[in-house]
A and B are shown apart, each in its own frame.
Chain A
């Protein structure tokens, strides 16, 4: 029996180490995953806020006591600091979760290819989100919208670069 216990213990240790390695590779902490959408399951319903007319599904929601942590994964993005657009997307999930549960997340997580960023859900970010939503809705009133940048790399990386009349010159 002692040999059996020893064997089981060693196998358990191997499984434990492997689970740690895998979790480290995902860049996410050991928190309970209460929801995940990476399999793009048909049945998972998007969150919706009637008040803000905002909808969306985070890739994961982790448990943080009574609060929740939304997670957005951009597995192909290589960057050492989070992009503003991704921060705003994560902020939208924070707002949606706050609306849905009545408890504000303290922060959300952005996972890029190599880095995980913690984005705090602050009043400042809330204001920036509302301002952006207002700006977008203003743009929707227009018959055409101009580009919002002066960076040729964006047009080169853009899926509409070949047809867009606003595209910056290539190369």
Chain B
């Protein structure tokens, strides 16, 4: 049977490019960085971005709905 290669996560590519040793220390030695607050800030910024994206989609759907209602009101006028 062919030997299984280690699985690599896409996000590791960025860590590896930043510094091979940092990537290795986290992956193989299980080290945690000393800036956990950076991770938390990043997570919050990600969530905000996602909310903005969803909200933009939602607002556009409502706008289209209102335009249809306006058209209906015009027809009935």
Binding site for B on A (CB under 8 A): 1-2, 4-6, 8-9, 11-13, 15-16, 18-20, 22-23, 25-26, 28, 33, 36, 38-40, 46, 53-60, 73, 75-76, 83-86, 88-89, 91-93, 96, 111, 129, 132-133, 136-137, 139-140, 144-149, 154-155, 158-164, 166
Q: How large is the interface on B (under 10, 10 to 19, 20 to 34, 35 or more residues)?
A: 35 or more
Q: Does B70 lie within 8 Å of A136, measured CB to CB?
A: no
Note all chain B residues with C-beta closer than 8 A to A40: 43, 46-47
Q: Does A146 lie within 8 Å of B66, measured CB to CB?
A: no
Binding site for A on B (CB under 8 A): 4-25, 27-28, 31-35, 38, 41-43, 45-60, 62-64, 66-67, 69-71, 73-74, 76-77
Chain A: CB-nearest residue to B76: A1
What are 8 A-B pairs with beta-carbon distances under 8 A?
A: A2-B77, A12-B67, A26-B53, A38-B50, A38-B51, A55-B7, A60-B50, A83-B17
Note all chain B residues with C-beta closer than 8 A to A55: 7-10
Main secondary structure of the interface of B (DSSP, over half): helix
Q: Does B59 lie within 8 Å of A154, measured CB to CB?
A: no
Nearest CB of chain B from residue A27's CB, rounded to whole Å: 9
Note all chain A residues with C-beta closer than 8 A to B77: 1-2, 5
Q: Does A75 lie within 8 Å of B10, measured CB to CB?
A: no
Q: Does B62 lie within 8 Å of A15, measured CB to CB?
A: yes
Chain A: CB-nearest residue to B16: A136
Nearest CB of chain B from residue A76's CB, rounded to whole Å: 6
Q: Does A164 lie within 8 Å of B21, measured CB to CB?
A: yes
- From B5, B24, B56, B59, A145 is in contact (CB under 8 Å) with B24
Instruction: Give the most central of B10, B15, B59, B74: most A CB within 10 Å.
Output: B10
Whether A75 contacts B63 in the complex (CB less than 8 A), given A25-B52, A92-B13, A139-B24, comes out as no
CA distance A10 to B66 in the complex (A): 9
